[in-house]
């Protein structure tokens, strides 16, 4: 072997003509920025932990609540349904009503509602009051995750939006693994009312962390207000009705088309729609076959 010949190794055997540095570059990580983003996402994860705990712990402490409120276990199951109805009603309603507010302010208001109604659930004297508080506590559930997802993606680096969303929803996962079993044990051995008090404390801590660690963002989704959404809904509904009406008209008027030989553009429009869903229909000139 000559003195100036390159050293034979597994790297230059695999890539003999390409320098190794092109494939094995050192990875530079901005640790300061990465740490800042993790601290900013911590309030969202903590809020998800509290929401997940108050949602799923009900199944574990349902017999204790039934005993404490002097009701049957099937009747206590309506408390779970009330919370679910609150989630469905509150998600679109609260986001539409507060769409003109900054996201940080909206998240703090959601956690304020969450904290207040869970604290009141701990002192509910009877079933009907508990049913009302569970419904109200479920209102900010879906709205918090919806607005929190927007905030998480804006806090993330470019290309790291999915990781930011995973960090926010990690609180919900930890709640199922740790929070729900701990709350169930606490409800069985001490009192189910302590569980809701702990959830209220978690909500209060989330509010403080949201105020300190989430930066201020301007509201950028004001066009998704309730009026805009309702207008788009009815506009799409009228468009669908116009298309269906026009399709039915063309199907019925098919045999008449052969006799008359033409259909005007205005006749193809649905009554009151104000537009032709299929575009302007040109008048059809009678063919030589129809005249025969």
Domains of the chain: 38-224 (1.20.1250.20)
pTM of this structure: 0.64
Tell me, what's the pLDDT at 229? Answer: 38
Alpha-carbon distances of 30 from 22, 45, 96, 154, 258, rounded to whole Å: 21, 22, 37, 18, 74
157 pLDDT band, cuts 50/70/90, is: confident
Residues 182/58, Cβ–Cβ less than 8 Å: no
pLDDT tens digit sequence for 2-49:
555 555 455 454 555 555 555 555 554 454 444 444 688 899 999 999
HEC per residue, 202-221: HHHHHHHHHHHHCCCCCCCC
* Half-sphere exposure in the Cβ direction for 226 (13 Å, CA): 9
Tell me, what's the pLDDT at 44? Answer: 93
pLDDT tens digit sequence for 179-221:
999 999 999 999 999 999 999 999 999 999 999 988 887 766 5
Residue whose structure tokens are 């390159």: 6
Q: Count of CB atoms within 10 A of residue 24's CB?
A: 8
The maximal CA–CA distance of the chain, rounded, in angstroms, is 100
* Half-sphere exposure in the Cβ direction for 213 (13 Å, CA): 20
pLDDT tens digit sequence for 212-255:
988 887 766 544 444 433 344 334 444 444 444 334 334 434 44
Q: Count of CB atoms within 10 A of residue 250's CB?
A: 15
Q: Count of CB atoms within 10 A of residue 249's CB?
A: 15
Tell me, what's the pLDDT at 234? Answer: 39
Does residue 112 have a pLDDT over 70? yes
pLDDT tens digit sequence for 158-182:
888 898 899 899 999 999 999 999 9
Determine the 3-state secondary structure of 230 from DSSP: helix
Tell me, what's the pLDDT at 252? Answer: 39
pLDDT tens digit sequence for 120-135:
999 999 999 999 999 9
């Amino acid at each position: 072997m000559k003195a100036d010949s390159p050293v034979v190794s597994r790297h230059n055997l695999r890539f003999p003509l390409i320098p190794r540095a092109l494939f094995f570059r050192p990875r530079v990580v901005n640790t300061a920025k990465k740490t800042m983003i993790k601290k900013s996402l911590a309030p969202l994860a903590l809020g998800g932990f509290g929401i997940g705990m108050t949602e799923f712990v009900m199944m574990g402490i349902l017999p204790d609540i039934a005993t404490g409120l002097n009701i049957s276990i099937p009747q206590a199951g309506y408390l779970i349904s009330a919370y679910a109805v609150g989630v469905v009603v509150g998600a679109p309603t609260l986001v539409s009503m507060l769409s003109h507010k900054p996201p940080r302010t909206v998240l703090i208001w959601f956690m304020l509602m969450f904290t207040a109604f869970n604290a009141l659930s701990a002192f509910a004297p009877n079933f009907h009051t508990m049913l009302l508080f569970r419904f109200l506590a479920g209102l900010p559930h879906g709205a918090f995750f919806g607005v929190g997802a927007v905030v998480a993606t804006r806090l993330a680096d470019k290309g790291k939006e999915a990781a930011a969303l995973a960090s926010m929803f990690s609180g919900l996962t930890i709640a199922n693994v740790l929070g729900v079993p701990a709350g169930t044990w606490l409800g069985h051995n001490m009192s189910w009312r302590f569980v809701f008090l702990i959830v209220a404390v978690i909500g209060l801590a989330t509010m403080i962390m949201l105020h300190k660690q989430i930066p201020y963002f301007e509201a950028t989704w004001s066009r998704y207000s309730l009026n805009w959404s309702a207008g788009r809904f009815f506009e799409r509904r009228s468009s669908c009705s116009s298309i269906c009406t026009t399709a039915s008209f063309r199907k019925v008027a098919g045999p008449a088309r052969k006799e008359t030989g033409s259909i005007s553009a205005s006749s193809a429009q649905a009554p009151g729609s104000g537009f032709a869903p299929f575009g302007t229909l040109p008048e059809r000139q009678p063919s030589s076959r129809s005249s025969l």
